[in-house]
């Protein structure tokens, strides 16, 4: 059983790799973990000694197969917990991340299986993020960024960022998983995009539009 700190680091490295499709840099890891670059470097060296990452100075950290399994198992715990907290306990979707962060490290295999069964073996969490299966495999990414839509394109929201203030804002616009959107207009020079969300016109900044994933209608 890996320590909570080790689990937190490999999870963040996994998420960083998934976002950029390249090794995670020490500065990126430090920012995500809220620590100094020196502290992140020391932990990455420890992870390398444990066989969980491959690390070369100035080339970033890449998870090994063993590290990836640890990271994906923590993600499975986290996302199952988020869904249980929203569906079974009725907690708001913008508050479950912090609670799941606390509980993800202590979830036994038996309780994990019981949660999965009670929830009906779900594929996604409340924010649309995929829940890895018991085999710790993630489905292939088939969505694309909302920002990639062209005027007139229709799509369905698949995933939204797991960021509490942003989740509250998106919910106020009706921009939640399974909502239907149409790109109306894209202003030039990184201006905002205009969208119809379930028939209601809304405006969204390009930075946020780039973080929302959509799929076909």
* pLDDT band with cut points at 50, 70 and 90 for residue 184: very high
Reference 51, options 10, 107, 105; nearest CA is 10
Architecture of the structural domain at 4-63: Orthogonal Bundle (1.10)
In this structure, the number of other CB atoms found within 10 A of the CB of residue 192 comes to 16
User: Domain coordinates of the chain in residue numbers?
Assistant: 4-63, 144-215
In this structure, the number of other CB atoms found within 10 A of the CB of residue 165 comes to 8
Query: Model confidence over 185-208: pLDDT tens digits?
Result: 999 988 899 999 988 999 999 999
Give 190's Cβ-side CA count (13 Å radius): 3
Q: Does this model's pTM top 0.85?
A: yes
Q: How far apart are CA 107 and CA 94, in angstroms?
A: 21
How high is the pLDDT of residue 201?
94
How high is the pLDDT of residue 191?
87
How high is the pLDDT of residue 44?
95
The percentage of residues in the chain with a pLDDT greater than 90, rounded to a whole number, is 89
DSSP codes joined into one string, 17-74? HHHHSSPBPHHHHHHHHTS-HHHHHHHHHHHHHTTSEEEETTTEEEE-HHHHHHHHHH
How high is the pLDDT of residue 58?
79
Q: Average pLDDT over the chain, rounded to whole?
A: 94
Burial class (CB in 10 A: 0-12, 13-18, 19+), 186: middle
166 to each of 88, 182, 208, how far by Cα in Å? 23, 20, 9
Architecture of the structural domain at 144-215: Roll (2.30)
**pLDDT score of 118 more than 80:** yes
How high is the pLDDT of residue 158?
96
Taking residues 173-177, what's their average pLDDT?
Answer: 95
Taking residues 107-112, what's their average pLDDT?
Answer: 94
**pLDDT score of 21 more than 90:** no
Q: How far apart are CA 85 and CA 95, in angstroms?
A: 9
How high is the pLDDT of residue 185?
96
**pLDDT score of 141 more than 80:** yes
Query: Model confidence over 48-98: pLDDT tens digits?
Result: 999 999 998 878 899 999 999 999 999 999 999 999 999 999 999 999 999
The percentage of residues in the chain with a pLDDT greater than 70, rounded to a whole number, is 100
């Amino acid at each position: 059983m890996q320590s909570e700190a080790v689990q937190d680091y490999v999870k963040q490295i996994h998420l960083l790799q998934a976002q950029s499709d390249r090794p995670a840099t020490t500065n990126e890891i430090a920012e995500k973990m809220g620590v100094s670059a020196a502290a992140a470097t020391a932990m990455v060296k420890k992870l390398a000694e444990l066989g969980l990452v491959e690390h070369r100075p100035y080339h970033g950290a890449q998870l090994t197969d063993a590290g990836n399994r640890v990271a994906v198992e923590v993600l499975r715990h986290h996302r199952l917990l988020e869904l249980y907290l929203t569906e079974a306990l009725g907690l708001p979707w913008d508050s479950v991340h912090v609670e799941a962060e606390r509980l993800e490290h202590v979830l036994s295999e038996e309780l994990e299986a019981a949660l999965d069964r009670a929830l009906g073996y779900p594929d996604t969490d409340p924010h649309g993020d995929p829940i890895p299966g018991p085999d710790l495999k993630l489905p292939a990414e088939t969505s694309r960024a909302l920002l990639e839509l062209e005027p007139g394109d229709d799509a369905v929201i698949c995933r939204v960022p797991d960021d509490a203030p942003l989740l509250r804002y998106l919910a106020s616009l009706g921009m939640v998983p399974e909502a239907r959107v149409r790109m109306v207009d894209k202003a030039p020079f990184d201006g905002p995009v205009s969208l119809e969300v379930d028939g209601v016109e809304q405006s969204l900044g390009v930075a946020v539009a780039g973080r929302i994933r959509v799929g076909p209608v």
